[in-house]
Structure 1
C-alpha cells in the first residue's frame, strides 16, 4: 500500500543506481535521434528514436531531483562557493576540451579542403558557446560548434540561478504536491508563450532561447524529490510502478504522440524509478555495465555529434559518396561503437582527472556526483 503525503519522511539513499543506469539510456536515445536523421532503417523504427530526443527534458528534471538530493535534503549544508566549484568541475573541463577539439576540426577541414557551411562556424557563436550562453536568447539559426551543448547552456543557467530555485523549493518542501502542480502550470504557461512567439512547442526549444525549457522542468525535479520523500510503496509496488511508467513512456514515444504528453509521462517515470531504487529494486539498471555507461553518458552525449561529423566526412571522402548519403544498420552500429569508445577515453582521461583535480584543490570534502544534463 502507498500512502500519499505521509507525514513520515522516507529519505533517499546517497547512491541510487537506477538513476545512474537510466542516464545511459537517455543519452543513447538522444544520439539515436541524431543518427536517425541519416539512416536507412524502416519508417516504423523512426517513432521511438525521433521522440527519444525528449530524454533531454527528463535529464532536466533529473538534474533538479539530484541537486535537491545533494544540496537541499535534510541535514545538508552548502555554500555558493562549494556549489559552483562542484558544478564547474562537473561540466566545464569536458565542455572546453570538446570545444577545443571542434576548433581543431574546423581548422583542419579548411586546410584539407573539406567544405563547411558558410558562416556557420563563426566567432560570435564560438564565444557564446564558450561561455555557455548560446541558448539564453532568441535566435533563428543553430549554433554548430557542438549542437548538444545547447542543453548544457540551459543547465549552466540553472546552476547560476540555483539559489532562487532553492528558495522556492525549500519554501514548498512540505507541500510537494503544490510545488509539482506549480511547476506543471509554469510549463503550460511558458509553452503557450513560446509557441505563440516561435510556432513550435516548448519541448522543441533548443538554441532559440532553449533556456526557458529547463525552468519548469528543473523545478519539477525538485518537487518530485520532496514528494518522493513522502511516498513509501513496498518493493513490489515500487518495481511495478517503475515498469509500467517506463513502458508507457516508450510506447508514447513510439506512437509519436504530442511532445508535451511525452514530457508529462517523464514525470511519473522519474519518480517511480527513484522510488524503486530507494526500495532496492533497481533491476537491470544496477548492472555494473550500465552503471559505467551511466557515468560515461555525459562524455558520450557531448562527443557523439563531433564523432558523427568526422565519420561522415571520412566515409564520403573514402567512398566518394554524396553529402546526403544514408547510413545502413551496420554503419550505425560501427559509428555507435566508435562514439562509445571515444566517450570512454574522454571520461577516463579528461573528465575524471579534471574533476578530481579541481575538487581536490578547491573543496574541503568530496561532493556526491550529480546526474547533471550534458
Structure 2
C-alpha cells in the first residue's frame, strides 16, 4: 500500500505571507507614511490560520494521547523561540544605543534603564512585562510578541482541553469570544487592541475567537482540494484588499467586526479547499516561509534602518522625496532577509529539534514547520 500523502494547504501560506507584508507596512511609517487603516486585522487572520493548521498538524496526536499537552507546548516554544531570540537581541541592542545617546524612540519617550532591564528579562522568558513599557507602549520589547504570547495561551487551552471538545462546545467558546470582541470594538472603536495591559482582554478575545474558528473550520473543511488558479488569486486579492481598505472612523468598529467574525472565516474555509497553480503555489510557499521571521523581526529591522540612515546621512529617511520607493524596497529586503534567516538558521534548528523529539517525518510535513504562526 502507498503511504497516505500528508495534506498541504499551500494557499494558506500565501494568505499568511500577504498579511505579514501588510503588518510591516503598518510599522514602516517613517518610510511609507501613514499606515493602511485596516492592516492590523492581519493578526486575526494569523490566529485563524494557526487554529486550522495546528489542528491539522497536532490534533490527532493530542486527541489520542500520543502527544501530551506539555510536549505540544515544548514544540510550540521551540518553533517560535529561535527567530524571536534574534529579534529580542536586535531590539535590546537598538534600545541600548538609543539609551546611551539619549535619543527619543517613540512620541518623544526616552528609554529608561529599569524598564529596559525588566523587558529584557521577561522577554527572555517569553512573558509580558508586569507593566506597559512606556517607551514603546507595549507589553514586550519585541512589539509583535504580544500576539505570540496570546496565541501560546490559546495553544495551551487547545492542547489541555480544546482538542477533545465537541464542535458544539467549540461553538460556545466562539460565541462567548464574539461577545467580548463586540465589547472591545465598542470600547476602543476598533479591534486594534491587545498589546497593553488594559487591553489584554481584547487580545485574548481576538485569539480565542479566531483560533477556535480555525479549529472548527479544519474539522468541517472540504475533504478534497480542487485546482482553481483564479480562485486562489482571488483569495490573495481579497486578503490584500481587506487589509488596505479605508473605512470611516465612525464605522471602523463595525467594519472590523464584520471582517473578523465573517470575512476571515469565510476566506479560510474557501482557501483551504483550493489548490493554486504552480506559480502561485511557489510564491505562496516563499511568502509562507518568510512570514514568521518577517512578523517577528520587522520592528527591529525598521528601527535599525531608520537609525542607521539618520546616523549616516544626518537626515530623517522620511524627508527624502523617494522615501515611499525606498520603503517598498525596504519591505522587499525584509522579506528576503526573513526568508534567508528562516532557511539558513531556523529550519536547520527545527530539524535538530525534530530529531530530538524522535519525529522522523520530512520537515515539510512536520508540525514544527507549520503554516499557522503569525
Q: What TM-score comes out, normalization by structure 2 length?
A: 0.78
299-308 or 124-133: bigger deviation: 124-133
Match of 1:5 in 2: none
Are positions 1:373 and 2:365 aligned together? no
From 175, 183, 201, give the equivalent of 1:185: 175
291-300 or 202-211: bigger deviation: 202-211
Are positions 1:58 and 2:48 aligned together? no
For structure 2, list consecutive stretches of 5 or more residues without a partner in the other structure: none
Match of 2:122 in 1: 128
From 322, 325, 331, give the equivalent of 2:326: 331
From 226, 243, 256, give the equivalent of 1:259: 256
The answer to whether the Cα contact below 8 Å between 1:99 and 1:145 also exists between their aligned partners in 2 is yes
Q: CA deviation at 1:252?
A: 4.3
Distance 1:189 1:151 in 2: 20
Describe the SS at the equivalent of 1:147: coil
Q: CA deviation at 1:118?
A: 2.2
The answer to whether the Cα contact below 8 Å between 1:61 and 1:220 also exists between their aligned partners in 2 is yes
Match of 2:358 in 1: 363
Count of residues in Structure 1 that have an aligned counterpart in Structure 2: 344
The answer to whether the Cα contact below 8 Å between 1:304 and 1:339 also exists between their aligned partners in 2 is yes
Are positions 1:162 and 2:151 aligned together? no
Are positions 1:275 and 2:273 aligned together? yes
Match of 2:30 in 1: 38
316-325 or 210-219: bigger deviation: 316-325
The answer to whether the Cα contact below 8 Å between 2:52 and 2:211 also exists between their aligned partners in 1 is yes
Q: What TM-score comes out, normalization by structure 1 length?
A: 0.78
For structure 1, list consecutive stretches of 5 or more residues without a partner in the other structure: 1-10
Match of 2:194 in 1: 205
Distance 1:22 1:203 in 2: 20
Q: CA deviation at 1:57?
A: 0.5
Describe the SS at the equivalent of 1:371: coil
The answer to whether the Cα contact below 8 Å between 2:91 and 2:300 also exists between their aligned partners in 1 is yes
Are positions 1:305 and 2:299 aligned together? yes
Q: CA deviation at 1:60?
A: 0.2
Query: How do 1:223-238 residues align onto structure 2 when only pairs under 5 Å count?
Result: 223-229=216-222
Distance 2:5 2:133 in 1: 40
From 69, 74, 89, give the equivalent of 1:85: 74
Match of 1:194 in 2: 184
Q: CA deviation at 1:346?
A: 1.9
Change (3 A) 1:93 1:328: same
Once the two structures are superposed, residues 61-106 of structure 1 have per-residue CA deviations (whole angstroms, 9 ceiling, x without a partner) of 1111011111224997433343223212210111122212222233
Q: CA deviation at 1:39?
A: 4.3
Distance 2:231 2:177 in 1: 24
The answer to whether the Cα contact below 8 Å between 2:48 and 2:210 also exists between their aligned partners in 1 is yes
Q: CA deviation at 1:358?
A: 2.0
Distance 2:154 2:358 in 1: 21
Change (3 A) 1:135 1:255: farther
Describe the SS at the equivalent of 1:50: coil
